[in-house]
Amino acid sequence: MEAKKKLKVGCIGLGPRGAGLYELLIENPHVEAYAVCDQNTNKLEAFQYKMEVEKKITTIQYFTSIEEFLKSDVEAVIVATHVSTHSDISIQCLDAGKHVLCEIPNISSFEEAKKLNRAVQAHPELKFMVAENCCYWAFINSWKEMYENGLLGEVVYAESDYIHPHTELQKYDEEGKPILTWRSYLTSIHYLTHNLGPLLYILGDTCDEITGFIPDINPMEDVHPAPPNGVIMVRTKKGALIKIFIGFGVHHTVRHNFSMYGSKGSLEYRRRREEQGTLGFFENMPYTRSEVVIPINDAYAGADERGHGGADPKMLEAFVDCIIHNKKSPLDIEFGINISLPGLLGEQSFKEGGKTMKMPDIKDFV
Ligand SMILES: NC(=O)c1ccc[n+]([C@@H]2O[C@H](COP(=O)([O-])OP(=O)(O)OC[C@H]3O[C@@H](n4cnc5c(N)ncnc54)[C@H](O)[C@@H]3O)[C@@H](O)[C@H]2O)c1
C-alpha cells in the first residue's frame, strides 16, 4: 500500500515563539519538517545547529529570504515574525499557494484587515488559521461545553486579565542596556487576543462596541515606550459586557484570569497556581450551599502539557487536521479580525477621549 504523503511544513520567524511552535509541529506524524526562514542569520544558524546536530533532523532547508523560502515546495507555514509584519507575510504566503497559521494579533491596522481578508477569500483552496492558542486550553473548552449545554443560562458579563510584567521579560545587551523588543513598542491593549479570543470563542459571539482606557502614567517608559497597561470594555452582539485588562507594566506574576457570570451559573478560573481549577456556581445543582470546585485547568487530563499547558500542541493538531481533511479552519480570518481589531479600536477610543467605537462588519471587508 502506498504511504500517505506527508504535509511539508515550514516557519517564518525563528524567535522563541516560531522556533518553539515549529519544534512541536514537526512531531506531528502527518507532517514533514521541510523549510524554515529567518532574516537573522544568527537565529537561523542556531536553529539549524539544534535541528541537525542535537536532534539529528536533516530534512529542513534554511532560508534568509522569504521569497526564496516560498519558491520551495513547502505547503503549510507558521508566520511568527513581528506583529507589524504578520499580515503582509501571510498574504505573501497565500499568494504563493501555502496554507498559513498566523501568530496573533494577525493585523495591525484596518487596511491590513481588509487586505488580508481579501487574500484569504481569493484562495478558498488554502487554509488560513490564527494561532490563538489560548482557545485550546482545557478549561476554556470545558466552559464552552457548559455554556452551550445551558448550564450558565444567559451570560451577561465576562472578564479576563493578562498580566505579564515586562520586568520578567526584560533582556539586556552586553553593556547592560535594556533590549527593546516587539512588546516594548506594542500598546498592550493590542495584545488582548489571548483573553478576548477565548471569551468570544466560548460565547460564539462577536464585538459590537468597544471603549478603551489607558492610564495617564507609564512608570516604565524607558523600557516600554508604548502604553504597557490598559483596559477595554466591549459590548457584544448578543448584548453581554466584557472587560479585558492587559497589564505588562505592573508588579505581579504571569497570569491569565477568566470569569463569566450568567443567569443560571457562573464560572471563575482560580487565581492562585497552587489552587488551579474552576469555581462553578450553578442554579441547577440541588442543595449546594456554595461553589463547586471543578478540577480542570489549562492541560487536558493525560495529554501533552508542553507549550502553554498543552494548548500549543492541540492548536497545531487542529491546523494540520483542517488541511489534511479539508475542514473549515477552526480559527478563521473572521475570528482573527474579530479578536485583533478591538485592540486597535480600543486605542482609537482612548485617543478620542473615551469615545465608544463601533466594530465594523467583517462581511463588508471586501
Ligand atoms: N501565542 C503566544 O503565546 C505567543 C507568545 C509570544 C509571541 N507570540 C507572537 O509571536 C510573534 C513572535 O514572537 P517572538 O517573541 O518569537 O519574537 P522575536 O522578535 O523574538 O522573533 C521574531 C523573528 O522573526 C524574524 N523576522 C522578522 N521579520 C522577518 C522577515 N521579514 N523575514 C524573515 N524573518 C523575519 C526575526 O529575525 C526574529 O528572529 C510575536 O509577534 C507575537 O505576536 C505569540
Distance in Å, CA 18 to ligand 1 centroid: 6
Q: How confident is the model at residue 364 (pLDDT cuts 50, 70, 90)?
A: confident
Residue nearest to atom 20 of ligand 1 (CA): 15
Answer yes or no: do 143 and 34 share one domain: no
Q: Is the pLDDT of residue 164 over 70?
A: yes
Ligand 1 centroid vs 82 CA: distance in angstroms?
5
Inside any domain, residue 308: no
Separation between Cα atoms, residue 314 and residue 297, nearest integer Å = 15
pLDDT band, residue 1 (cuts 50/70/90): low
3 state SS of 357: strand
Q: Exposed e or buried b for every residue in 322-357, given b needs 16+ CB within 10 A?
A: bbbeeeebbbbbbbbbbbbbbbbbbbebbeeeeeeb
d(CA 77, CA 7): 10
163 shares its domain with 266: yes
Residue at 152 is within a domain: yes
Give 109 Cα–ligand 1 centroid separation in angstroms. Answer: 18
- The finding on whether 353 has its CB within 6 A of some atom of ligand 1 is no
- pTM for the full predicted model: 0.95
Does the C-beta of 155 come closer than 6 Å to ligand 1? no
Strand order in the sheet with 229-236: 292-294, 278-282, 265-269, 255-262, 155-163, 241-247, 229-236, 207-213, 357-358
Residue 17 lies inside a defined structural domain of this protein: yes
Q: Which of 21, 23, 39 to mutate to test the pocket of ligand 1 (most atoms within 8 A of CB)?
A: 39
- Find the CATH number of the domain harbouring 18: 3.40.50.720
Q: Measuring CA to CA, which residue among 199, 261, 268 is closest to residue 232?
A: 199
For residues 41 and 103, state if they share a domain.
yes
pLDDT at 228 over 60: yes
Q: Is 36 in the pocket of ligand 1 (CB under 6 A)?
A: no
Please indicate whether residue 3 or residue 249 has the higher confidence score (pLDDT): 249
One domain for residues 36 and 142:
no
**Quick one: 103 and 149 in the same domain?**
no
**How many Cα atoms sit within 13 Å of 342 on the Cβ side?**
32
Ligand 1 centre to CA of 23 (Å) is 15
Question: To the nearest whole percent, how much of the chain has pLDDT over 90?
Answer: 84
* In a shared domain, residues 192 and 277: yes
Tell me what pLDDT residue 235 has.
98
With a 6 Å cutoff on the Cβ, whether 38 touches ligand 1 is yes
Which residues are CB-contacts of 289 (< 8 A; sequence separation ≥ 6)? none
The dihedral formed by the CA atoms of 150, 152, 158 and 160, expressed in degrees to the nearest 10: -90
If you measure from the C-alpha of residue 40 to the centroid of ligand 1, how many angstroms do you get, rounded to a whole number? Answer: 11
Domain membership of residue 1 (yes or no) is: no
- For a substitution probing ligand 1, which of 64, 103, 196 has the most ligand atoms within 8 Å of its CB? 103
Q: Determine the distance separating the centroid of ligand 1 and the alpha carbon of 22, expressed in angstroms.
A: 12
Q: Is 18's C-beta closer than 6 angstroms to any atom of ligand 1? A: yes
Q: Is 80 in the pocket of ligand 1 (CB under 6 A)?
A: yes
pLDDT in tens, 346-355: 999 999 999 9
The answer to the question of residue 150 being in a domain is: yes
d(CA 192, CA 169): 18
CB-based burial, 85-101: b 16+ in 10 Å, e otherwise: bbbbbbbbbbebebbbb
Asked if 43 and 56 sit in the same domain, the reply is yes
Ligand 1: does its nearest atom lie under 6 Å from the Cβ of 62? no
152, 205 Cβ separation under 8 angstroms:
no
Same structural domain for residues 250 and 346? yes
Check whether residue 161 and residue 25 sit in a common domain: no
Is there a domain that residue 353 lies in?
Answer: yes
Atom of ligand 1 nearest to the CA of 132: 1
What pLDDT is attached to residue 2? 54
Residue 66 CB–ligand 1 contact under 6 Å: yes
CA dihedral 197, 201, 204, 206 (to 10 degrees): 10
The whole-number pLDDT of residue 126 equals 98
Q: What is the CATH number of the domain that holds 183?
A: 3.30.360.10
pLDDT digits 0-9 by tens, 244-299: 999 999 999 999 999 999 999 999 998 876 677 899 999 988 777 788 999 888 88
Residue 309 lies in a domain: no
> What is the Å distance from ligand 1's center to 269 Cα?
29
Nearest CA to ligand 1 atom 36: 13
Total number of domains constituting the chain? 2
Radius of gyration of the chain (CA): 21
Three cell numbers written together for 290? 456554595
Three-state SS string across 181-234, please? CCCCCCCHHHHCHHHHHHHHHHHCCCEEEEEEECCCCCCCCCCCCCCCEEEEEE
- Check whether residue 195 and residue 76 sit in a common domain: no
Task: Return d(Cα 84, Cα 182) in angstroms, integer.
Answer: 9
Q: What's the first-to-final CA gap in the chain, in angstroms?
A: 45
16 sits in which H/E element: helix 16-25
The verdict on 128 and 141 lying in the same domain is no
Three cell numbers, residue 260: 463569566
Span from the CA of 157 to the centroid of ligand 1 (angstroms): 33
Range of the domain at 219: 135-303+338-364
If pLDDT is split at 50, 70 and 90, which confidence band does 105 have?
Answer: very high
Within-domain flag for 287: yes
131 C-beta closer than 6 A to ligand 1? yes
Looking at the structure, do residues 287 and 176 belong to the same domain, yes or no?
yes
